[in-house]
A and B are shown apart, each in its own frame.
Chain A
Amino acid sequence: MTLERSTYLTLLLVLGGALALAVLNQATDAGSALHVPTYVIALAGKYLCFAMLALAVDLVWGFAGILSLGHAAFFALGGYAMGMYLMRQIGTRGVYGNAMLPDFMVFLGWHELPWYWHGFEWFGFALLMVVLVPGVLALVFGYLAFRSRVTGVYLSIMTQALTYALLLAFFRNDMGFGGNNGLTDFKDILGFNVQADFTRSALLVVSALFLCGQFLLARFVVQSRFGKVLIAVRDTESRTRFLGYRPESYKLVVWVLSAVMAGIGGALYVPQVGIINPSEFSPANSIEAVIWVAVGGRGTLVGAILGAVLVNFGKTWFTGALPELWLYALGALFIFVTLFLPRGVMGLFARRRKLAPEPEVETPATAAAHEVTG
């Protein structure tokens, strides 16, 4: 497999950047000019997790034409699985000092750990769930949706309804996931204090490693013959059927893969921000993830990472400097990118060899022409 320049550059920037930040945080004193404060480490870690979500969205939207407006749900589910592990690690250090039950359960007057909380005291089990829960949900949802040939906007609206339903569900106290407040007040992960600078730096590096891994995996998938079929499905789904392909199984594979990638991103996100609550399921979050991809360049994996980092950096800056203007800026970004930058920032580089051939833009005229397709 040959790695072209943008791939090298991405790997280098992500890994090198994360390592540099971590080292500068760990090896220098707080007073030093080179010192990187811990909040920057946490922020960078957060961006990388969002980049994983963006990569996942791009994989299905850019390469399979499935515009998911509910991918944050998979991200949040992965996050909850990790959050449950972190909750169990608190042990007797909670406000109520209950060794078995997290604080919110004691508060609700529960006496027993719900069955689905068992096992989360083991890190390995939690990791398994990080992969399985989003994966199985995606499998079930995708199987039903793709088998009945739900496509386009209908599918988008359904994914939005899915995350909306989960949002409502997780708000409920009797679901046993902390209701409105979610899971928080984490103490340690694998024995390391989650608040400690060292842990944060380590988490940043781990996130960078996972992001690079996901990037390479996604790259492998889209460049394989599988990826070519996927693009064919994206643009001319019915034609692939007459060649003997089953678009539904291609979509299902990439959909589940994408959900798992998002879930892993969420799992890494939670220890770094220290909280997971139902608002992560809100449809707005999922749509924001889509705009990261659009900004970076749909159908280019590098673009997804770039877009996630750029937009979130902008968000951090805006919400600090001009909080009232952030929503204007975000809204304008949506409009600007779709109208004037359909190929995103990556499109500006206008490279000859594109990772994914760009989709045909459909105009009313071509739409009408499709009507006569035999």
Chain B
Amino acid sequence: MHRLIALLLLLVLALPASQARADAVDDAYEALSASALTISPASFESVRQGVEQLAASGDPRAAAVIGALHDGLLYAREDNALFIQQPDGTYVDARTGAPAADVTDDDVHTVRVNNAVRSAIDAALGSLQLFAPDAPTRLQAASAVFTSHDPAALPALDKALVKETDSGVRRRMEQARAAALLSSSDASETDRLAAVATLRARGDIDARGFLGSLSGQPPAVAAAAATAIIAIDRQLELWSLLQSVYYGLSLGSVLLLAAAGLAITFGVMGVINMAHGEMVMIGAYVTFMVQQFMHAYLPGLYPASLLFAVPLAFLVSGAIGVVIERSLIRWLYGRPLETLLATWGLSLVLQQAVRSIFGANNRDVDTPAWMSGATQLGGLTLTWNRMYIILFAIIVLAALMAALRFTSLGLRMRAVTQNRRMAAAMGIRTPWIDALTFGLGSGVAGMAGVALSQIDNVSPNLGQGYIIDSFMVVVFGGVGNLWGTTLGALTLGIVNKFLEPVAGAVLAKIVVLVLLIMFIQRRPRGMFPLKGRAVET
């Protein structure tokens, strides 16, 4: 009962308002037809005002009409009635949208526009979208208004703000309103100051640009804008710093993934495996093959292909690693320099083999939909694939540490690497442990290959690009220490990304290499050196 009364009351109150609005709309439509019939400055001015009025009126047909005007499809009859030409050449009534079958080309004239009208149309279209039913369109419209910061959009903005429910869109509209307000000639100083505060809160490069372009403001407002600019600059700097950290972290995780396997084979076993990069490369090719297979036979699972590729790459590279250890490396224990040469030879063979099988060209590995795109976090752009790689690196590292610490294989591995003869005497079959340890390191490299296939070209040379960096990471971090490797990788990644804007990518790399060379000379055993007598000889 109460509801009904309330509704009635509302109707009664709203009636005069809607009546007034209808009048305004009529005027607007009438004004629009002016330039179709006579061409004069006054008629264009009339059209321009018509556009603005119509846009501000909230009339549901406004968007269609002004859009038609924009496209040159709005026509007027002698009696000021307006029609929109359809793509098929027929006409509809502009006011109602009803087909007007009796209207022919001869009856109507194009509503002409000049530059002033055109910019009014653009602004109007922008503000009209403010009332669109879907939020993304409204957001876009608000951004467009912000860019144009045309004071004419103010009424529309005010109206839209009343109705807006989405907080994100609302914020953007307020910012647009602030920009428009500052651009208008008759806003009060308090309003202006509030507007500056709004823009300062927005704090991005656009807000800064707009504030920087302001002129003719009252002194207090100009001062507020100047401080706002400084504040925004500081904030932007912070964001770009964070962005660099993010890039650095993501590069660091890539390095970490590439180096984690090496931390096992080189760091723990002391084997210099120059074919480590090729284990990574093989992992990437496994990803390629898994995708090809799924594409052909299991298209339904295609989006999850990477999840299958990870264990498979681990197994394939790991198995190859075991074979390498049994057939080659075990003959060379204790002869690091010879191992280096032999495994380098092996890397040449593996590269050439892959080249023979798959060709020398890059292979396409898809990034699944759930890994593409990016998300915005404040001023940070976080790309999903990099996020996943960081995550993946963390998981791999954690799994590796757990495997070394908590499994019996891990225990035996550590025993063998610490004192081979003692371990053998205690009944540990050291040859098998060696093979499995090497297989583990290689398998981890294979998993790294899956990740790298997402950000790098899958080609036979894939591994080559990472081998020097990986060794640097392991040596920098301190051999035989996974934490050191982690810290080494992240440090190198971040330093690299911080140098890049200053020095350029290539020079940054050179600088990092030189710094590393100098670092190793200062601390020949890395950040976290192994201690004890074993390392002295």
Which residues of A approach B to under 8 Å, CB–CB? Answer: 61, 67, 69, 141, 144-145, 147-150, 152-154, 156-158, 160-162, 164-165, 168-169, 171-172, 238, 283, 287, 290-291, 294, 324, 327-328, 330-335, 337-339, 342, 361-368, 370-373
- Say yes or no: A362 contacts B524, CB within 8 Å: no
Residue B507 interfacial (CB < 8 Å): yes
Q: In the complex the two chains form, what is the Cα distance from A158 to B420 in whole Å? A: 28
CB within 8 Å for A373 and B537 given contacts A150-B520, A153-B337, A368-B420: yes
- Say yes or no: B468 contacts A161, CB within 8 Å: yes
Chain B residues near A153 (CB, 8 Å)?
Answer: 272, 336-337, 340
- Say yes or no: B537 contacts A327, CB within 8 Å: no
Nearest CB in chain B: distance from A28 CB, A: 40
CB within 8 Å for A152 and B337 given contacts A283-B468, A334-B342, A335-B328: yes
Residue B29 interfacial (CB < 8 Å): no
- Say yes or no: B518 contacts A368, CB within 8 Å: no
Chain A residues near B337 (CB, 8 Å)?
Answer: 61, 67, 152-153, 156
The 7 closest A-B pairs by CB, nearest first: A334-B345, A331-B348, A331-B349, A370-B537, A327-B352, A362-B334, A165-B513
Nearest CB in chain B: distance from A289 CB, A: 11
Residue of B nearest to A61 (CB): B337
Nearest CB in chain B: distance from A374 CB, A: 9
Q: In the complex the two chains form, what is the Cα distance from A357 to B332 in whole Å? A: 20
Nearest CB in chain A: distance from B420 CB, A: 5
Q: In the complex the two chains form, what is the Cα distance from A15 to B422 in whole Å? A: 57
Residue of B nearest to A152 (CB): B336
Residue B398 interfacial (CB < 8 Å): no
Chain B residues near A335 (CB, 8 Å)?
Answer: 328, 342, 345-346, 349
Q: In the complex the two chains form, what is the Cα distance from A150 to B519 in whole Å? A: 11
Q: In the complex the two chains form, what is the Cα distance from A365 to B533 in whole Å? A: 16
Q: In the complex the two chains form, what is the Cα distance from A335 to B347 in whole Å? A: 10
Chain A residues near B506 (CB, 8 Å)?
Answer: 168-169, 171-172
- Say yes or no: A331 contacts B352, CB within 8 Å: yes
- Say yes or no: A364 contacts B334, CB within 8 Å: yes
Chain A residues near B509 (CB, 8 Å)?
Answer: 165, 168
Residue B338 interfacial (CB < 8 Å): yes
Partner of A150, one of B331, B333, B521: B521
Chain A residues near B242 (CB, 8 Å)?
Answer: none
Chain B residues with a Cβ closer than 8 Å to the other chain, count? 49
Q: In the complex the two chains form, what is the Cα distance from A150 to B475 in whole Å? A: 12
- Say yes or no: B516 contacts A161, CB within 8 Å: yes
Q: In the complex the two chains form, what is the Cα distance from A333 to B346 in whole Å? A: 10
Nearest CB in chain B: distance from A146 CB, A: 9
Q: In the complex the two chains form, what is the Cα distance from A361 to B347 in whole Å? A: 24
- Say yes or no: B520 contacts A168, CB within 8 Å: no
Residue B308 interfacial (CB < 8 Å): no
In the complex, which residues 500-529 of chain B have their Cβ closer than 8 Å to any Cβ of chain A?
A: 506-507, 509-510, 513-514, 516-518, 520-522, 524
Nearest CB in chain B: distance from A214 CB, A: 23
- Say yes or no: B475 contacts A157, CB within 8 Å: yes
Nearest CB in chain B: distance from A283 CB, A: 7
Q: In the complex the two chains form, what is the Cα distance from A248 to B342 in whole Å? A: 28
- Say yes or no: A145 contacts B521, CB within 8 Å: yes
Seed contacts A160-B468, A164-B513, A168-B510; 4 additional CB < 8 Å A-B pairs: A144-B518, A153-B336, A168-B513, A334-B346
Nearest CB in chain B: distance from A364 CB, A: 5
Q: Which of A141, A162, A332, A338 has the most CB of B within 10 A?
A: A338
- Say yes or no: B524 contacts A331, CB within 8 Å: no
CB pairs A–B below 8 angstroms (17 shown): A69-B340, A144-B521, A152-B336, A153-B340, A156-B340, A157-B468, A158-B517, A160-B468, A165-B513, A327-B348, A334-B348, A335-B349, A338-B338, A338-B345, A364-B334, A368-B419, A371-B534
Chain A residues near B522 (CB, 8 Å)?
Answer: 148
Nearest CB in chain A: distance from B338 CB, A: 5
Q: In the complex the two chains form, what is the Cα distance from A291 to B347 in whole Å? A: 14
Q: In the complex the two chains form, what is the Cα distance from A364 to B420 in whole Å? A: 8
Residue of B nearest to A372 (CB): B533
In the complex, which residues 312-361 of chain B have their Cβ closer than 8 Å to any Cβ of chain A?
A: 328, 331-342, 344-353, 356
- Say yes or no: A290 contacts B524, CB within 8 Å: no
- Say yes or no: A365 contacts B517, CB within 8 Å: no
